[in-house]
Amino acid sequence: MNFSYWMELIMSGVVTGACYALIGAGLSLIWGTLKMVNLAHGEFYMLGAYILWVSLTVGNMPLLIAIPIAAVSVVVIAALLHMATIRPLLRKPGWDMSPWILTLGIQILLQNIALQVWGELYQNVPYFWNAIFKPGNLFTISGQRIIILFGTFAVILLLMFIIKKTKLGRAIIATSQDGEFATMMGINTKRVYLVTYGISAMLAAIAGVLMCPVYSVNPWMGTTVQTKGLVVCILGGLGSVEGAIIAGIVMGIVESLTVSVVGSAWRDVAAYLLLIIILYVRPEGLFGRKREG
Protein backbone atom coordinates (compact mmCIF):
# COMPACT_ATOMS: atom_id res chain seq x y z
CA MET A 1 0.00 0.00 0.00
CA ASN A 2 1.91 2.93 -1.27
CA PHE A 3 1.14 6.35 -2.60
CA SER A 4 0.28 5.25 -6.12
CA TYR A 5 -2.14 2.62 -4.79
CA TRP A 6 -4.12 5.22 -2.89
CA MET A 7 -3.92 7.64 -5.76
CA GLU A 8 -5.42 5.09 -8.11
CA LEU A 9 -8.17 4.31 -5.63
CA ILE A 10 -9.08 7.97 -5.34
CA MET A 11 -8.95 8.48 -9.10
CA SER A 12 -11.21 5.52 -9.62
CA GLY A 13 -13.56 6.97 -6.99
CA VAL A 14 -13.58 10.32 -8.75
CA VAL A 15 -14.45 8.62 -12.04
CA THR A 16 -17.46 6.81 -10.55
CA GLY A 17 -18.26 10.01 -8.69
CA ALA A 18 -18.30 11.96 -11.94
CA CYS A 19 -21.06 9.67 -13.15
CA TYR A 20 -23.05 10.13 -9.91
CA ALA A 21 -22.52 13.86 -10.23
CA LEU A 22 -24.00 13.99 -13.74
CA ILE A 23 -27.00 11.89 -12.71
CA GLY A 24 -27.47 13.73 -9.42
CA ALA A 25 -27.21 17.17 -11.06
CA GLY A 26 -29.96 16.24 -13.52
CA LEU A 27 -32.24 14.88 -10.81
CA SER A 28 -31.60 18.01 -8.79
CA LEU A 29 -32.48 20.28 -11.71
CA ILE A 30 -35.74 18.42 -12.26
CA TRP A 31 -36.53 18.49 -8.55
CA GLY A 32 -35.77 22.22 -8.38
CA THR A 33 -37.99 23.32 -11.26
CA LEU A 34 -40.68 20.68 -11.66
CA LYS A 35 -40.78 19.67 -7.97
CA MET A 36 -40.86 16.01 -8.87
CA VAL A 37 -38.65 12.96 -8.62
CA ASN A 38 -37.82 11.46 -11.98
CA LEU A 39 -37.66 7.72 -11.48
CA ALA A 40 -37.00 7.21 -15.20
CA HIS A 41 -33.70 9.04 -15.00
CA GLY A 42 -31.47 5.97 -14.99
CA GLU A 43 -33.15 4.87 -18.20
CA PHE A 44 -31.88 7.96 -20.00
CA TYR A 45 -28.42 6.85 -18.90
CA MET A 46 -29.16 3.35 -20.21
CA LEU A 47 -30.56 4.64 -23.51
CA GLY A 48 -27.52 6.89 -24.00
CA ALA A 49 -25.26 3.86 -23.68
CA TYR A 50 -27.40 1.66 -25.95
CA ILE A 51 -27.75 4.25 -28.68
CA LEU A 52 -23.98 4.75 -28.62
CA TRP A 53 -23.43 1.00 -28.85
CA VAL A 54 -25.88 0.66 -31.75
CA SER A 55 -24.38 3.61 -33.62
CA LEU A 56 -20.89 2.17 -33.22
CA THR A 57 -21.58 -1.49 -33.96
CA VAL A 58 -24.61 -1.53 -36.25
CA GLY A 59 -24.19 1.93 -37.73
CA ASN A 60 -20.41 1.71 -37.96
CA MET A 61 -20.23 5.38 -37.19
CA PRO A 62 -17.16 7.19 -35.98
CA LEU A 63 -17.16 8.00 -32.27
CA LEU A 64 -17.40 11.75 -32.77
CA ILE A 65 -20.69 11.30 -34.62
CA ALA A 66 -22.05 8.48 -32.47
CA ILE A 67 -21.73 10.46 -29.24
CA PRO A 68 -23.81 13.48 -30.31
CA ILE A 69 -26.35 11.12 -31.89
CA ALA A 70 -26.74 9.29 -28.59
CA ALA A 71 -27.07 12.53 -26.60
CA VAL A 72 -29.52 14.16 -28.99
CA SER A 73 -31.69 11.05 -29.42
CA VAL A 74 -32.11 10.77 -25.67
CA VAL A 75 -33.07 14.44 -25.43
CA VAL A 76 -35.69 13.93 -28.14
CA ILE A 77 -37.08 10.85 -26.38
CA ALA A 78 -37.16 12.68 -23.04
CA ALA A 79 -38.83 15.74 -24.56
CA LEU A 80 -41.53 13.64 -26.22
CA LEU A 81 -42.15 11.72 -22.99
CA HIS A 82 -42.34 15.00 -21.09
CA MET A 83 -44.87 16.53 -23.46
CA ALA A 84 -46.98 13.39 -23.69
CA THR A 85 -47.05 12.38 -20.05
CA ILE A 86 -45.66 14.88 -17.54
CA ARG A 87 -47.01 18.11 -18.98
CA PRO A 88 -50.68 17.06 -18.87
CA LEU A 89 -50.35 16.12 -15.18
CA LEU A 90 -48.22 19.04 -14.07
CA ARG A 91 -49.67 20.89 -11.07
CA LYS A 92 -53.00 19.12 -11.53
CA PRO A 93 -54.68 17.62 -8.47
CA GLY A 94 -52.71 14.55 -7.39
CA TRP A 95 -49.36 16.02 -8.43
CA ASP A 96 -47.84 15.02 -5.09
CA MET A 97 -48.27 11.38 -6.08
CA SER A 98 -48.61 11.25 -9.86
CA PRO A 99 -44.95 11.79 -10.89
CA TRP A 100 -43.84 8.82 -8.77
CA ILE A 101 -46.29 6.46 -10.41
CA LEU A 102 -45.84 7.94 -13.86
CA THR A 103 -42.04 7.89 -13.94
CA LEU A 104 -41.91 4.45 -12.34
CA GLY A 105 -44.14 3.32 -15.21
CA ILE A 106 -41.83 4.97 -17.74
CA GLN A 107 -38.85 3.27 -16.09
CA ILE A 108 -40.41 -0.18 -16.42
CA LEU A 109 -41.56 0.56 -19.95
CA LEU A 110 -38.15 1.74 -21.18
CA GLN A 111 -36.33 -1.18 -19.53
CA ASN A 112 -38.65 -3.65 -21.19
CA ILE A 113 -38.40 -1.96 -24.56
CA ALA A 114 -34.61 -2.18 -24.27
CA LEU A 115 -34.92 -5.84 -23.32
CA GLN A 116 -37.17 -6.60 -26.30
CA VAL A 117 -35.11 -4.67 -28.80
CA TRP A 118 -31.57 -5.41 -27.71
CA GLY A 119 -31.92 -8.59 -25.65
CA GLU A 120 -30.56 -9.51 -22.27
CA LEU A 121 -26.95 -10.13 -23.31
CA TYR A 122 -24.49 -7.71 -21.81
CA GLN A 123 -22.88 -5.69 -24.56
CA ASN A 124 -19.49 -4.06 -24.57
CA VAL A 125 -18.30 -0.80 -26.01
CA PRO A 126 -14.55 -0.49 -26.63
CA TYR A 127 -12.55 2.19 -24.84
CA PHE A 128 -12.62 5.51 -26.69
CA TRP A 129 -8.90 5.88 -26.14
CA ASN A 130 -6.67 2.88 -25.64
CA ALA A 131 -3.82 4.45 -23.78
CA ILE A 132 -2.34 4.11 -20.33
CA PHE A 133 -0.73 7.05 -18.62
CA LYS A 134 1.67 7.33 -15.73
CA PRO A 135 1.66 10.99 -14.73
CA GLY A 136 5.06 11.62 -13.17
CA ASN A 137 5.41 7.88 -12.70
CA LEU A 138 3.17 8.24 -9.63
CA PHE A 139 0.12 6.24 -10.65
CA THR A 140 -1.47 4.73 -13.76
CA ILE A 141 -4.69 5.87 -15.37
CA SER A 142 -6.36 4.73 -18.58
CA GLY A 143 -7.24 7.01 -21.46
CA GLN A 144 -10.95 6.21 -20.99
CA ARG A 145 -10.88 7.45 -17.42
CA ILE A 146 -9.14 10.64 -18.51
CA ILE A 147 -11.89 11.15 -21.08
CA ILE A 148 -14.55 10.56 -18.42
CA LEU A 149 -12.95 13.12 -16.13
CA PHE A 150 -12.46 15.81 -18.73
CA GLY A 151 -15.80 15.11 -20.40
CA THR A 152 -17.66 15.43 -17.12
CA PHE A 153 -15.72 18.52 -16.16
CA ALA A 154 -16.51 20.21 -19.48
CA VAL A 155 -20.20 19.31 -19.30
CA ILE A 156 -20.52 20.56 -15.73
CA LEU A 157 -18.73 23.78 -16.60
CA LEU A 158 -21.12 24.33 -19.48
CA LEU A 159 -24.11 23.55 -17.26
CA MET A 160 -22.93 26.02 -14.64
CA PHE A 161 -22.40 28.65 -17.29
CA ILE A 162 -25.93 28.16 -18.58
CA ILE A 163 -27.44 28.35 -15.10
CA LYS A 164 -25.43 31.31 -13.81
CA LYS A 165 -24.83 33.46 -16.85
CA THR A 166 -27.62 33.09 -19.38
CA LYS A 167 -31.18 34.28 -19.61
CA LEU A 168 -32.34 30.67 -19.71
CA GLY A 169 -30.49 30.11 -16.44
CA ARG A 170 -32.24 33.04 -14.81
CA ALA A 171 -35.57 31.71 -16.04
CA ILE A 172 -34.74 28.29 -14.54
CA ILE A 173 -33.78 29.79 -11.17
CA ALA A 174 -36.86 32.03 -11.05
CA THR A 175 -39.12 29.11 -11.97
CA SER A 176 -37.61 26.95 -9.26
CA GLN A 177 -38.14 29.65 -6.62
CA ASP A 178 -41.69 30.66 -7.57
CA GLY A 179 -43.06 28.95 -10.66
CA GLU A 180 -46.46 30.66 -10.66
CA PHE A 181 -45.16 34.14 -10.27
CA ALA A 182 -42.24 33.62 -12.68
CA THR A 183 -44.84 33.66 -15.46
CA MET A 184 -45.71 37.26 -14.56
CA MET A 185 -42.09 38.19 -15.29
CA GLY A 186 -42.67 37.01 -18.84
CA ILE A 187 -41.15 33.57 -18.35
CA ASN A 188 -42.80 30.77 -20.29
CA THR A 189 -42.55 28.25 -17.47
CA LYS A 190 -44.00 25.39 -19.51
CA ARG A 191 -41.04 25.73 -21.80
CA VAL A 192 -38.64 26.00 -18.86
CA TYR A 193 -40.02 22.68 -17.56
CA LEU A 194 -39.49 21.06 -20.93
CA VAL A 195 -36.00 22.46 -21.40
CA THR A 196 -34.79 21.51 -17.91
CA TYR A 197 -36.14 18.00 -18.39
CA GLY A 198 -34.30 17.78 -21.70
CA ILE A 199 -31.04 19.15 -20.25
CA SER A 200 -31.24 16.69 -17.36
CA ALA A 201 -31.85 13.78 -19.71
CA MET A 202 -28.87 14.86 -21.75
CA LEU A 203 -26.65 14.88 -18.65
CA ALA A 204 -27.74 11.30 -17.91
CA ALA A 205 -27.18 10.24 -21.53
CA ILE A 206 -23.68 11.72 -21.50
CA ALA A 207 -22.93 9.86 -18.28
CA GLY A 208 -24.09 6.64 -19.95
CA VAL A 209 -21.99 7.31 -23.02
CA LEU A 210 -18.85 8.05 -21.00
CA MET A 211 -19.22 5.17 -18.55
CA CYS A 212 -20.35 2.34 -20.82
CA PRO A 213 -16.84 1.31 -21.99
CA VAL A 214 -15.85 0.85 -18.34
CA TYR A 215 -18.95 -1.09 -17.33
CA SER A 216 -21.17 -2.84 -19.83
CA VAL A 217 -24.42 -2.11 -21.60
CA ASN A 218 -27.61 -3.86 -20.44
CA PRO A 219 -31.28 -3.00 -19.93
CA TRP A 220 -30.93 -2.63 -16.14
CA MET A 221 -27.73 -0.63 -15.99
CA GLY A 222 -29.68 2.51 -15.07
CA THR A 223 -31.25 1.33 -11.84
CA THR A 224 -28.24 1.30 -9.51
CA VAL A 225 -26.89 4.49 -10.97
CA GLN A 226 -30.26 6.16 -10.48
CA THR A 227 -30.49 5.07 -6.86
CA LYS A 228 -27.04 6.51 -6.23
CA GLY A 229 -28.03 9.64 -8.13
CA LEU A 230 -31.04 10.09 -5.82
CA VAL A 231 -28.86 9.60 -2.75
CA VAL A 232 -26.39 12.15 -4.07
CA CYS A 233 -29.19 14.56 -4.87
CA ILE A 234 -30.52 14.37 -1.29
CA LEU A 235 -27.01 14.49 0.14
CA GLY A 236 -26.19 17.67 -1.77
CA GLY A 237 -29.43 19.34 -0.74
CA LEU A 238 -32.56 18.84 -2.85
CA GLY A 239 -32.57 21.20 -5.78
CA SER A 240 -28.95 22.29 -5.40
CA VAL A 241 -27.06 21.41 -8.57
CA GLU A 242 -23.63 22.31 -7.12
CA GLY A 243 -24.44 20.26 -4.03
CA ALA A 244 -25.29 17.21 -6.14
CA ILE A 245 -22.06 17.51 -8.10
CA ILE A 246 -19.86 17.75 -5.01
CA ALA A 247 -21.80 15.04 -3.20
CA GLY A 248 -21.43 12.82 -6.26
CA ILE A 249 -17.65 13.05 -6.27
CA VAL A 250 -17.47 12.56 -2.50
CA MET A 251 -19.73 9.52 -2.77
CA GLY A 252 -17.56 8.01 -5.49
CA ILE A 253 -14.39 8.40 -3.42
CA VAL A 254 -15.99 7.04 -0.25
CA GLU A 255 -17.26 3.99 -2.13
CA SER A 256 -13.92 3.32 -3.76
CA LEU A 257 -12.05 3.54 -0.45
CA THR A 258 -14.61 1.30 1.25
CA VAL A 259 -14.34 -1.35 -1.44
CA SER A 260 -10.59 -1.61 -1.03
CA VAL A 261 -10.43 -1.31 2.73
CA VAL A 262 -13.38 -3.44 3.90
CA GLY A 263 -14.49 -5.20 0.73
CA SER A 264 -16.91 -4.66 -2.13
CA ALA A 265 -19.90 -6.02 -0.21
CA TRP A 266 -19.74 -2.88 1.93
CA ARG A 267 -19.91 -0.45 -0.95
CA ASP A 268 -23.63 0.36 -0.70
CA VAL A 269 -23.56 0.19 3.08
CA ALA A 270 -21.00 2.98 3.04
CA ALA A 271 -23.09 5.01 0.61
CA TYR A 272 -26.21 4.90 2.76
CA LEU A 273 -24.28 5.31 5.96
CA LEU A 274 -22.83 8.51 4.53
CA LEU A 275 -26.34 9.65 3.67
CA ILE A 276 -27.66 8.91 7.15
CA ILE A 277 -24.75 10.60 8.90
CA ILE A 278 -24.93 13.76 6.80
CA LEU A 279 -28.69 14.05 7.09
CA TYR A 280 -28.36 13.57 10.84
CA VAL A 281 -25.92 16.46 11.08
CA ARG A 282 -27.48 18.63 8.37
CA PRO A 283 -31.08 17.63 7.61
CA GLU A 284 -31.21 20.05 4.68
CA GLY A 285 -28.24 18.35 2.97
CA LEU A 286 -24.81 19.76 2.26
CA PHE A 287 -25.91 22.75 0.20
CA GLY A 288 -29.64 22.85 0.81
CA ARG A 289 -31.17 25.95 2.29
CA LYS A 290 -33.10 25.72 5.51
CA ARG A 291 -36.71 26.59 4.95
CA GLU A 292 -38.99 27.80 7.64
CA GLY A 293 -42.69 27.04 7.62
> Which chain residues interact with other proteins by CB under 8 A?
167, 170-171, 173-174, 177-178, 180-181, 183-189, 289
Backbone angles phi, psi at 132, to 5 degrees: -125, 135
Min. distance of Cβ 55 from other proteins in angstroms? 38
Q: Dihedral of CA 235/241/246/251: which sign? A: positive
User: Based on CB atoms, which residue is closest to other proteins, 147 or 173?
Assistant: 173
User: Minimum Å distance from CB 291 to other proteins?
Assistant: 9
Longest dimension (CA), the chain: 61
Q: 114: Cβ–Cβ under 8 A, 6 or more apart, which residues?
A: 43, 46, 47, 50, 219
* Minimum CB distance to other proteins smaller for 35 or for 267: 35
Q: Which CB sits closer to other proteins, 55 or 189?
A: 189
| Residue of 53, 44, 123, 40 whose CA lies nearest to 86 | 40
Which runs of E-coded beta strand occur in 136-223? Answer: 141-142
In the complex, least distance from residue 243 CB atom to other proteins, rounded to whole angstroms: 13
* CB of residue 195 to other proteins, shortest distance in Å: 14
Gap between the Cα atoms of 218 and 114, Å rounded: 8
Q: In terms of CB distance, is 241 or 249 closer to other proteins?
A: 241
* Angle at 257 (CA atoms; ends 251, 261), nearest 5 degrees: 145
Q: Could you tell me the sign of the dihedral formed by the alpha carbons of 222, 274, 24, 55, in that order?
A: negative
Which of residues 94 and 186 has its CB atom nearest to other proteins in the complex? 186
CB of 281 to other proteins, least distance (A): 22
